[in-house]
Structure 1
Amino acid sequence: MIHHCVRLTVKPGVDAARLDEALESLRRQGEVIPSVLSYLVGRDFGGEYEWGGTYVIEDLKGYWEYLVHPAHRRTDELGLPLVDKFVSYDITDDPDPDMGEKIAALHRRRYAQDPELARLVGGLGGYEGSAAPGPHGG
């Protein structure tokens, strides 16, 4: 099982309606992507981030489905332009010692297949986590 988690802060002055639309899109991807077994999107307390989401996915095949699903891509289009700092990370009970690299490879593959997504991620003020340093290597 893989728990894919994201945490983010928004840029100062972001319109509340645009933020609500992006957060609703995060929720929608949890509802419509078949490989997502459960999800939670909401306020993030206890650190420097404002919002977060967690998606439970069974395996790498499902993780890839999640990454490339149109609902996830729509969230990227709506949300990434609003984001200042972003972190994604994964928690898994899979005993494979190479699981972290396999997850990172899926992210790199996604960036390679979607130059516009790579541009959006490259424009973030800060990015850490599963696919860091991101599509541009830094």
Structure 2
Amino acid sequence: MIRRAWLLIWLLGGIGLGSAWAGEIAKPGKIKHVVVVWLKQAEEAGRFMALSKQLVDLPGVVDYSIGPALPDKSGSDFHLGIVVTLENRQSLYEYLNHPKHRDLIAKMRPLVERVVTYDFITR
């Protein structure tokens, strides 16, 4: 498996895709930090959202949205979605490592069954 991964990296680098991808990541742009949350108890959504909204005023945050998942036929079973827009990659690093963020994560952790995060650069 590791051999295949190295082969893919070598091939992509050899035909120029590796460096093109690295260049794309290096370009400036706002960052979207997306968090999908499954709660241990759905009734705790209000409490979780109230705690989460305390992160709105952290440095680098341009926009902060949180809300419940829409029920759909695909079987999506998460409870809450959060989208944080940040100034740049440095702002994301500072946001994730900010003492207030770390403290609130510790307070929210007992309410959470599962969390998935995604980060991407906007153009």
Instruction: Specify the TM-score bucket, using the shorter chain as the normaliser.
Output: 0.5 to 0.7
- Structure 2 letter corresponding to 1:92: I
Equivalent in the alignment of 2:90: 61
1 or 2 for the larger relative contact order (CA 8 Å, sep ≥6)?
2
Identity %: 26
Instruction: State the SS of the aligned residue for 2:94.
Output: helix
User: 2:32 touches 2:122 (CA, 8 Å); kept in 1?
Assistant: no
**Structure 1: gaps spanning 5 or more residues:** 95-138
Equivalent in the alignment of 1:44: 69
**Structure 2: gaps spanning 5 or more residues:** 1-29
- Structure 2 letter corresponding to 1:55: V
Query: Pairwise CA RMSD of aligned residues?
Result: 1.9
2:46 to 5, 8, 20: 20
2:87 is aligned with 1:70 = no
Q: If the length of structure 1 is used for normalisation, what is the TM-score? A: 0.58
What is the CA deviation profile of residues 79-124 of structure 1, one whole-angstrom value per residue up to 9, with x for unaligned ones? 1121112110012136xxxxxxxxxxxxxxxxxxxxxxxxxxxxxx
User: 1:7 touches 1:44 (CA, 8 Å); kept in 2?
Assistant: no
Distance across 2 between alignment mates of 1:80 and 1:52: 15
Q: How does 1:74-93 map to 2 (within 5 A)?
A: 74-93=103-122
User: 1:25 touches 1:71 (CA, 8 Å); kept in 2?
Assistant: no
Instruction: State the SS of the aligned residue for 1:48.
Output: coil
User: 2:95 touches 2:101 (CA, 8 Å); kept in 1?
Assistant: yes
2:36 is aligned with 1:7 = yes
Query: Higher Cα Rg: structure 1 or 2?
Result: 2
Question: Where do 4+ consecutive residues of structure 1 move more than 2 Å?
Answer: 19-22
- Structure 2 letter corresponding to 1:41: I
Distance across 2 between alignment mates of 1:48 and 1:15: 14
- Structure 2 letter corresponding to 1:86: V
Equivalent in the alignment of 2:22: none
